[in-house]
Structure 1
Amino acid sequence: MRAVWLREFGGPEVLAPGPAPDPVPGPGQVLIEVAHANLTFVETMFRASGFGPFARSLPLIPGNGVGGTVTGVGHGVDPELVGRRVVSGTGGAGGYAERVVVDRDAPVPVPDGLPLDEAVALLADGRTALMLVRAAGLRAGERVLVEAAAGGVGSLLTQLVAAAGARVVAAAGGPRKVALLRERGVGVVVDYREPNWTDRVRAATGGVDVVFDGVGGSLARAAFDLLGTGGRMLSYGLASGAWAELPADLAAARGVALLRPGASPAELRALTEQALAEGAAGRLRPLIGQRFPLERAAQAHADMESRATIGKTLLDVR
């Protein structure tokens, strides 16, 4: 089968297309014919340095999220699963390929009416956005700053915040992303690459009650200063390469709660199912900004690292 290999850590160019043995499902496993592979920023960090939650030795086929059709099952698995459209995590590797084998409990069925590419776009980002909104305990009328609001998670958060009756304040990098958010109906949008962007937020809103921080670093530190007593800051990513340096004693003195939400595997599955259901109902629409054929995974990584992408980036495998 066709696949993309990672044989050494380094720049995007180390991702090399090449053949791989066809996987065969063993007892308790299913075989998925992959249509789309989900790309996340943490995968670019793993490719560069080995950073990430999944310890793996090289060489390997990277990729931790796929969508496709079950085409085979191993011993002890219900054969009725064959033909079912699913999304699935891979356990940390194997996703940049035409086929992948996973445990039978890993795939999540895709509801009728939801395109498979949108389901893959909601696999990781949808459950993350739902988890964050749940943890924030949003109240109607609150002012909510979404960092990287034109990204995969950020674009979903803007929808969920608005649906909760709160006021969306979007921060994005560059005129193209700012224009996109305004076209999508976001009222307050600022370019965080411009100096004094927090002054514009404060002038428009007076400050914010909640910050969804997927960037970290200096951007998150500046966003923190917009929060007042009773504010909540939820950090879930470090696209800048580092978490924000926010001393707990400073947050306590300001009356701000610093939150880093998490979920058990069972909760993550339930959140994934909820995201897919919301997508099928048309209430949660992922922004698929760019797509690449499998063989151009290196270019996809390069574009993500350069911040040239918007929304979700997919590899179209089939």
Structure 2
Amino acid sequence: MRAAVVTAFGDADVIEIQHLPTPTPGPGEVLVDVQLTDLIFVETAIRAGLHGGFFDVTPPYVPGSSFGGVVRTVGDGVSADWIGKTVTGRTASFGAHAEQVVAPAESLLEVPDGLTLETAVAVSGDGYTALMLEELATDLTGKHVLITAAAGGMGILLVQLAHRASAHVIAAARGQAKLDLVKAHHADVVIDYGQPGWEKLVLEATNGAGADITFEGAGGTLGATAFTVAADHSWFSAHGAPSGGFAAYDEADAERRGITVKGIRDLRVDTATTTVTAAQVLARAAQGDLVPVIDRLYPLDQLAEAHRAMTARELVGKALIRIR
């Protein structure tokens, strides 16, 4: 089978297309003929050798986790009824950017009627995290909600969820095309955080009080700046790192101001305790609560190009990888 392989930590040139043996499903596993896979920003950072404390992986490895395709065979203990079904799923670690993948049967969901495979794959990863953040945050209704990296795959979904909850949605992104996109998805205020002093516009939009809830997906200095305009006794999620690291904040300052902060380690713990399920994500997508924006669809042999586009901030919405 053909698979993308990260041969060493480095820039996107370390990704090679290689021929590997087709894997065999073990007990409780299935083998899937992959049609589409998701690509999220953190995968580009892992490829570059970052976040080693969060993700245990050593090259060479096949990247990717979320996929969509058709079940080919099943391992012991798995019903043969899965064979031939069109499904989404997640690998136990990595390995999705390949023509075939082995995954736990418990991760599979049959794609419901009325939902395309593209939509199902695009929403499965980002949608899960977005619904988890929706669950963890205090009630969004009527709150000033700041969303950074708002034009990214998950940012768009958070804008949609906050709007549906009747929040006052303040969406921050870079460049007019991204601002236009989040405005079209019902952000009440759009702010270009590529402009100096953008945080002052957040204060203006909140009558000087700051954001009640912040979904911080940008990281780096942008994330640190977002923390300065979080209201006292607010809720702040530092879940994104495309700007070179997760948002830095002063823990003593957060405690003094009564701000509840969810860092990346906290969110990984919460992933194990959330009531959100993958089935719920697809159900919310099927009913129109989660509408992913797919910017580009790359063939497998252009995975490196997709990584470059993502790190260069060229994407407006999501990129998917077409395997076959």
The answer to whether TM tops 0.5 is: yes
Aligned: 1:143 with 2:149: no
Aligned: 1:242 with 2:245: yes
**Alignment CA distance shift 1:54-1:259 (3 Å):** closer
Once the two structures are TM-superposed, the CA of residue 245 in structure 1 deviates from its matched residue by 2.3
CA–CA distance in structure 2, aligned partners of residues 127 and 44 of structure 1: 20
- Equivalent position of 2:114 in the other structure: 113
- Equivalent position of 1:314 in the other structure: 320
CA–CA distance in structure 2, aligned partners of residues 222 and 257 of structure 1: 16
The residue type paired with residue 71 of structure 1 is: R
- Equivalent position of 2:129 in the other structure: 128
Once the two structures are TM-superposed, the CA of residue 50 in structure 1 deviates from its matched residue by 5.7
In the alignment, is the contact (CA less than 8 A) between 1:138 and 1:166 conserved in 2? no
In the alignment, is the contact (CA less than 8 A) between 1:54 and 1:92 conserved in 2? no
SS in structure 1 opposite 2:270? coil
SS in structure 1 opposite 2:22? coil
CA–CA distance in structure 2, aligned partners of residues 124 and 293 of structure 1: 20
In the alignment, is the contact (CA less than 8 A) between 1:25 and 1:31 conserved in 2? yes
Once the two structures are TM-superposed, the CA of residue 17 in structure 1 deviates from its matched residue by 1.3
Once the two structures are TM-superposed, the CA of residue 198 in structure 1 deviates from its matched residue by 1.3
Task: Output the TM-score relative to the length of structure 1.
Answer: 0.94
Count of residues in Structure 1 that have an aligned counterpart in Structure 2: 317
- Equivalent position of 1:63 in the other structure: 64
1:95-126 deviation digits (Å, cap 9, x = unpaired):
11111011222223322211111111111100
Equivalent of 1:212 in 215, 234, 241: 215
Once the two structures are TM-superposed, the CA of residue 24 in structure 1 deviates from its matched residue by 2.3
- Equivalent position of 1:12 in the other structure: 12
Once the two structures are TM-superposed, the CA of residue 92 in structure 1 deviates from its matched residue by 2.2
Where do residues 148-167 of structure 1 align in structure 2 (5 Å cutoff)? 148-167=149-168
In the alignment, is the contact (CA less than 8 A) between 1:168 and 1:188 conserved in 2? yes
CA–CA distance in structure 2, aligned partners of residues 58 and 183 of structure 1: 41
Identity, in percent, stands at 39
Unaligned runs of 5+ in 2: none
- Equivalent position of 2:298 in the other structure: 292
CA–CA distance in structure 2, aligned partners of residues 130 and 219 of structure 1: 23
SS in structure 1 opposite 2:241? coil
1:191-235 deviation digits (Å, cap 9, x = unpaired):
000011111222233232111112222111211222222211111
The residue type paired with residue 84 of structure 1 is: K
- Equivalent position of 1:82 in the other structure: 83
SS in structure 1 opposite 2:170? strand
The residue type paired with residue 229 of structure 1 is: D
1:267-311 deviation digits (Å, cap 9, x = unpaired):
47x432211101111221111111100110000000111111121
CA–CA distance in structure 2, aligned partners of residues 5 and 51 of structure 1: 19
In the alignment, is the contact (CA less than 8 A) between 1:88 and 1:107 conserved in 2? yes
SS in structure 1 opposite 2:84? coil
1:22-47 deviation digits (Å, cap 9, x = unpaired):
22223322111111111111111111
Once the two structures are TM-superposed, the CA of residue 264 in structure 1 deviates from its matched residue by 4.3
In the alignment, is the contact (CA less than 8 A) between 2:159 and 2:186 conserved in 1? no
- Equivalent position of 2:47 in the other structure: 47
SS in structure 2 opposite 1:95? coil
The residue type paired with residue 210 of structure 1 is: I
CA–CA distance in structure 2, aligned partners of residues 11 and 97 of structure 1: 20
Aligned: 1:257 with 2:260: yes
**Alignment CA distance shift 1:254-1:56 (3 Å):** closer
- Equivalent position of 1:176 in the other structure: 177
Aligned: 1:188 with 2:194: no
CA–CA distance in structure 2, aligned partners of residues 196 and 155 of structure 1: 23
The residue type paired with residue 318 of structure 2 is: K
The residue type paired with residue 28 of structure 1 is: G
Task: Output the TM-score relative to the length of structure 2.
Answer: 0.93
Which range moved further: 152-161 or 66-75?
Answer: 66-75
CA–CA distance in structure 1, aligned partners of residues 145 and 229 of structure 2: 10
